[in-house]
Amino acid sequence: MSLIEVKNITKVYKIKPSKNIFSLNKSATKVNAVDDISFKINRGEIIGYIGKNGAGKSTTIKILSGILLPTSGVVTVDGIVPYKNRIKNARKIGVVFGQRSQLYWDLPVIDSFCFLRKLYQVDHDTYQQNMNYFDEFFSLQDLLDRPVRKLSLGQRMKCDLCAALLHSPEILYLDEPTIGLDILTKNNVREFIKKINQEKKITVMLTTHDIEDIEHLSSRIILIDQGKKMYDGPITGIQKHLTRKRLIKVVTEKPFTQVLENIEQPNIKECHANFVIDLDQNSIPNVINAISGSNVIKDITVQEPNLEQILFHYYQQIEK
Amino acid sequence: MYYISLYYTAFKYNLKSLYEYRFDFWVGIITLMIMQGIGLMFLWVIYQYTTALSGWSLNEVVFIYGFQQVVHSLYITFFGNVTGLEQLIKHGTFDCYLVRPAFPLFQLMITKLNITGFAGLIVSIILLVYSVYRIGLQLNLAKFVALMVFLTTGVLIYFSLSLIVSTCAFWLTRTMRLQQLIFDFSEFTRYPIDIFHSGLQLVLTVVIPFALASYYPALFFVKEAAFLEISLKILGGTLLFYVISYRFWRFGLKYYHSTGT
Amino acid sequence: MFGKYFSVLEIGYRQSVAYKGDFIIGSISTLFRMMILAYIWTAVYQNANTTVINGRGLIETITYIILAQLIWSVLNTNLEVLLGFKIKKGEITRDLIKPINFPLLIFLDNLGFSLFILLVQTMPAFVIACFMFDIQTPASILHILFTLLSIILAFFIYASFSFTIGIIGFWAQNVWGISLLKKLIFNTFSGSLVPLFLYPPMIQKWIYLLPFKEIINTPLVIYLDADLQMILSLLGRQLFWAVTFFILSQISWMYLKRKIEILGG
Ligand SMILES: Nc1ncnc2c1ncn2[C@@H]1O[C@H](COP(=O)(O)OP(=O)(O)O)[C@@H](O)[C@H]1O
Ligand SMILES: [Mg+2]
């Protein structure tokens, strides 16, 4: 049996047009933030849950962690329905919301840890073990005595991550954990997530729109858009899905003004043009011929698109 | 037991958190204490020109005043954070509370330490004890128990009213002002409410029943009003408002679970 | 010359319009405070079986109380908290660039706010209170004008004082406690809580030595009964305090400016 089972969950938000008390009679608009999504996650997996802003990622995480009630559908996490048995579920999970911290703002980090330790009733040995483990990786020792308000964003994120793991949860939900971090810290955080997944067998579900997170961490992604599941499977699958595409970058002598047939969304800046072609409809020599007919090609590169470009392309397709 | 030790831990860190700004902290604490003294001075000035207000002597009014202040300080100390729900929801911190294995209302209560209440408590207890002594009130065991019970019900009334307003934060973006409005009514109940308009007296007893938390207990202790009638009023009112507020809170929480923000 | 100051004033006013819901409640709070004090003193006069206390009748006392709340609710804006915010958020560096004397800028910003408070929050409360209680009408138009002038001076005294408090708050890293202390002092010694003439004469003597009476008691003495000569001397004394406190705020501002220039905001 899978650790997390999600069956046909839907979440409908009603948005009131105005918060003014005098206009209550205006009808509310409905948003299907999550629309009939199902998936299963097995113990020990790292799932990349990706989608654009507003796709419904946070909503899903909130339902899984017991904060929100789905409008319809059922979720079970290790046999527990999180929104019905919130407290029991809470002991098994750790959650980090990327942009908000659960640490005491004015106090040294260690104080927040001690408080959480009490709250989750973590025994002394486990606490020590976990702290040593975190310290080994992040060198927390230097940070622990500093007030949270004096930490950098990256340092705070590391501490928040550890705070969520203090009670050795089985599952870790991360909502945009790398947002706003610099490349080094991002890498550091990713390595850490990978490490705890491998060594502690913690199941991780992270939402992100940073594709590199996914490329580094998870072999399986779930892609959602406008609340609907668009893809669920290994990254390679989605790559294959689009391997007949090629990204072409051309530098020409004169400003690029041509209209090319069978080419989607050229991205043109004076003499530089980027576009994606589909090998089933077009061929590279064709394109080169078409361009050099009226212009001089100074440089040209042809690439297999990376995941980010694929997704960018994918989103554009969905929009049409 | 779990919640008691959790309360203690939170208390420790919250105190530490306040202490980060030492100088200002002490200035504030001492000011708060003086402020309550000023209230007493105000009463003293009034009684320079009269011996009784609607039949209440200075020491008797100090009893009401002290009683109200003790209740208010206790409320602030233990439940003052309830008013912060609005901020927690706005900053998303409330979601963090919901993914932890403890009651959200409890976590809300221990968000931070309201030292204002704590400082007030010390002075107001002194005021109350002083007035008991000056009135010559004989506190036998029964009366002492009654005093404790009425202090508790008083705090519960304050808590209930505050919880009702705070819970509105699940629907409204701002509740602070509403909170202030409701608690402005409590200022009336530092004095014998007989001196106010009768309509206002009714409001303070039935609609926003702060009078049940200070004036009515004083009627019993100072004016020796019938215990049964007074206690029925107080206990009934407290129970009613407590149940309403807790139900409303559960309802609000359910609403939050189903809509988010 | 004054155009730029005026525009600051206007923005202060505009910003506050956004919070109109708050002001209804603020208005009710003000009314409540007027009511509590007026009821209490009515009861005192009744129970004392006298029509005159310390030379003043009930109507004069109630007029004083209600007008004192009116002035207090206008003056009592949290300028020092605003200043604290500006410093913490680094907005102050932006204000440093503006070609305006900074304390004056903040005062005007606050004056816009105060005028708005007067209009939407205090006036409604005042009008209702006028229906509920008997209030003494002013002796002449001139008295009204002099009272208004006196209130403006009071505003500058209070604003300068608050500004200085705000700087102390910057030095102490937090402004909560000191701000509370400031309020306590003004509440007690300005006449906003107890009309100064109702303090026992022995205490009055001391309170009159302090400058805090200038913000509430002085305008109200002018309103209630002062003759022209006395009005002028009262205004002169107020002006003296206004200048003194303004200089104080300028000095503390220079301290802050130096600190900011060193620390980089
Ligand atoms: N509390 C809410 N009330 C109404 N609509 C909401 C609420 N939270 C999110 N939404 C809407 O639901 C959709 C999904 O939001 P969210 O799950 O936060 O997306 P993501 O995290 O992927 O950016 C968005 O269109 C958003 O506007
Ligand atoms: Mg999100």
Nearest-CA residue for ligand 1 atom 16 is: A56
Residue C78 has φ and ψ, to the nearest 5°, of -85, 70
Task: Please list every residue in chain B whose beta carbon sits closer than 8 Å to the beta carbon of residue A172.
Answer: none
Strands A203-208 and A171-175: parallel
* A70-84, A123-137, B170-184, C26-40, range with the lowest pLDDT: B170-184
For the residues of B130-185, what is the DSSP string, one character each?
Answer: HHHHHHT----HHHHHHHHHHHHHHHHHHHHHHHHHHHGGGT-S--HHHHHHHHHH
Q: Measured between alpha carbons, how far is B74 from B124 in angstroms, rounded to an integer?
A: 10
Cβ atoms of residues A171 and A66 within 8 Å? no
Contact assessment for residue B36 and residue B123, using Cβ atoms and an 8 Å cutoff: yes
Report residues whose beta carbon is within 6 angstroms of any ligand 1 atom: A 13, 15, 31, 33, 51, 53-59; B 259-261
Ligand 2 centroid distance, CA of A55 (Å): 8
> What confidence score (pLDDT) does residue A23 get?
46
- B24 with C187: Cβ contact below 8 A: no
Atom of ligand 1 nearest to the CA of A57: 22
Helix (H) or strand (E) segment spanning residue A267: strand A264-269
Residue (of A159, A97, A157, A171) closest to A134 by Cα position: A159
Place of tokens 């701000």: C179
C202 CA: distance to closest CA in chain B (Å): 12
- B259 belongs to a structural domain: no
pLDDT digits (tens, 9 = 90+) for C206-244: 999 999 999 999 999 999 877 888 899 999 999 999 999
The pTM of this model reads 0.80
pLDDT tens-digit readout, A280-308: 777 788 888 888 777 888 888 887 766 66
Q: Which of C44, C73, C194 to mutate to test the interface with B (most CBs of B within 10 A)?
A: C44
B/e letters for A179-198, b = 16+ CB within 10 Å, e = fewer, are bebeeebbebbbebbeebbe
Q: How far, in Å, CA of A264 to CA of A277, rounded?
A: 7
CB A96 within 8 A of CB A174: yes
Q: Which atom of ligand 1 is nearest to the CA of A53?
A: 23
Among the partner-chain residues C177, C181, C200, the one whose CB lies closest to the CB of B25 is: C177
Q: Report how many domains make up chain B.
A: 1
- Alpha-carbon span C94 to C166, nearest angstrom: 18
Asked if B17 and A104 come within 8 Å (Cβ–Cβ), the reply is yes
Region of residue C64 (phi > 0: left; psi between -120 and 50: alpha; otherwise: beta): alpha
What whole-number distance in Å separates Cα of residue C222 and Cα of residue C126?
19
For residue A223, what are its two tokens?
């892609």
pLDDT digits (tens, 9 = 90+) for B34-63: 888 888 888 888 888 888 888 899 999 999
Position B82 in a domain: yes
For chain A, the average pLDDT equals: 84
Instruction: Judge: B187–C22 Cβ closer than 8 Å, yes or no.
Output: no
Closest approach of A143 to chain B, Cα-based (Å): 17
Of ligand 1's listed atoms, the one at least distance from the Cα of A58 is 21
Residue B117 within a domain: yes
Identify the DSSP state of C198. G
CA–CA distances in Å: residue B112 to residues A227, A271, C177: 37, 60, 17
Query: Hey, whose CA ends up nearest to atom 26 of ligand 1?
Result: A54
* Tokens matching residue C127: 């009008």
* Element at A150 (helix H, strand E): none
ipTM score:
0.78
Residue B73 has pLDDT above 90, yes or no: yes
- Residue B261 resides in a domain: no
Q: Residue B44 is part of which domain span?
A: 2-253
pLDDT more than 90, % of chain C? 33
Residues of C in contact with B45 (CB under 8 A): 194, 198-200
- What average pLDDT score do residues C80-96 get? 74
Conformational region of residue A226, where left means phi above 0, alpha means psi within -120 to 50, and beta covers everything else: left
Whole-number Å distance between alpha carbons of C57 and C51: 6
